[in-house]
Structure 1
Amino acid sequence: MNQMTIPPGHRMDAQGRLVPESKIKPIDKTRDELVRELYAEAEDLNQRIRAFKTKVHQDIAAFVQLSAEQYDVKLGGDKGNVHLTSFDGELKVLRAMAELIMFDERLQSAKDLIDQCLREWTADARPEISLLVQDAFRVDATGKIRTGAVLALHRLDIEDERWQRAMTAISEAVQVVGTKSYVRFYKRDANGQYKALSLNIAEV
């Protein structure tokens, strides 16, 4: 049953049941009104943030191109990190471009090689390495391999030939599937330190 089929004087509850208005407590009606009002405002804010983000990227790209033209340089796209600072140095805008990466099937070969090492090393009382590696291959909340944790294994100074082959397999398994852009805003405080302007509702 959809909203169009609800008869006058009734509301549908969370279980899909029709409830007469007269049977709904005033506090439940007030709660419903509050949730709908706040969600509408949040949805409007979300759309305005999206529009602002698009404008920021377009404006920065246009300025980078304008700046390049001053030196007769033709830029090949808008990739790359850009720092823009106000004339007095008080304000700063940063556009950062981060590559989105994933691993192909060679990651499993790397894990198999690492597992071979671990089976021997755990017998020699090196459980901390085992825990570190197991954590690296643990998936995140969305079921995806945490690329940063896997790539961090390269920092371990281990000379075992199988480990080195595993690190090579990890490097070769990396596939760049796109880029994601970030824009951050900063203002210099009285101590000369740049403080980020948070646009995250949880951090404001």
Structure 2
Amino acid sequence: MEAVILEEKTAAGITIVNGKEYVTNADGGLTPLALVKAEDFLEDQMVRKIIGFAKPLSAELARFKAHTRADIAEFDRNLEAKYGLVKRGRAGAGNQKYRTIDGLMSVETRVNKLIEFGPQLQVAKGLIDECLNEWTEDGRAEIRGLVTRAFNVDQAGKISKDAVFELFKIESDDPRWMNAMEAINAAVRVIGSKEYLHFSFRESHDVDAPWIRISLNIADA
């Protein structure tokens, strides 16, 4: 039996076996490099290069986020201690804005509640459907559009809470509609919260000088 000799890769994603170059395919097996289309190999190398930069950058952002939260938490603790406030911990923290003395730099924390809807939402939808089916045609098309958007689900199977809350802007003295709004209120469940960090600066003390957001989101950069 011929011995299998594995050698070091000459390029990312390439394995040399008994002097021949192979690439690992999607099934985990080895495909001779000679059988791989040139454009497929170039795509492979491009992706490996990009991911090679993206992984350490992601790790650096995670470290920055952790350090930022730690710095803010320490500042808050010192401030609370100075004025004798019983320690709240980060659970007690809310929206805060921190600025430099010159007023040109700002760090802001925002805490958004994470909510989901309980089964009462489907009860509300049934009541709303009854209303739409019996109300006159006048203005119903616009209302039906709002209702459709409210109960549409996205690719993740989730309903837009903002679209649902838009229904409260519709005024009606129909008892079923009012019951539907009550059911929506009852359906709201707070399942947690998420903290967001925002960084911004402005380049002058002019009252009209705009605040420029420092984006750490690659989609916004």
Point out the more displaced range, 25-34 or 113-122.
25-34
Instruction: Please tell me whether the aligned partners of residues 82 and 96 of structure 1 are also in contact (alpha carbons under 8 angstroms).
Output: yes
Contact 1:97 1:181 in 2 (8 A): yes
Q: Which moved more, 1:104-113 or 1:156-165?
A: 156-165
Give the conservation status (yes or no) of the 8 Å contact 1:122–1:130. no
* Relative contact order higher in (CA < 8 Å, ≥ 6 apart): 1
Higher helix share: 1
Residue by residue over 1:62-92, the C-alpha shift from the partner in whole angstroms, topping out at 9 and shown as x without a partner, is 2111111111112422220110001100000
Q: Which moved more, 1:75-84 or 1:165-174?
A: 75-84
Per the alignment, residue 192 of structure 1 pairs with 209
How much does 1:140 deviate? Answer: 1.6
Q: Deviations over 1:7-57 (max 9, x none)?
A: 722223346664212333555433322210111211111111112112212
Range with bigger deviation, 10-19 or 143-152 = 10-19
Structure 2 residue runs of 5 or longer lacking an equivalent are: 1-14
Assess if the C-alpha contact under 8 Å between 1:99 and 1:179 holds in 2: yes
Q: Which residue of 2 aligns with 1:91?
A: 105
Q: Any conservation in 2 of the 1:109–1:166 contact (CA below 8 Å)?
A: yes
User: Aligned pair count?
Assistant: 199
- The residue number in structure 2 matching 1:138 is 152
Bigger CA radius of gyration: 2
Identify the range of structure 1 (143-152 vs 185-194) with the bigger mean alpha-carbon deviation: 185-194
Alignment root-mean-square deviation, CA: 2.0
Give, in whole Å, the separation in 2 of the partners of 1:156 and 1:61. Answer: 42
Matched residue, 1:23: 35
Alignment of 1:93-108 (within 5 A): 93-108=107-122
Distance 2:136 2:27 in 1: 52
> Greater CA deviation, 151-160 or 43-52?
151-160
**Paired-residue identity, %:** 38
Other structure's SS at 1:200 match = coil
One-letter identity of the residue aligned with 2:64: F
2:94 is the alignment partner of 1:77? no
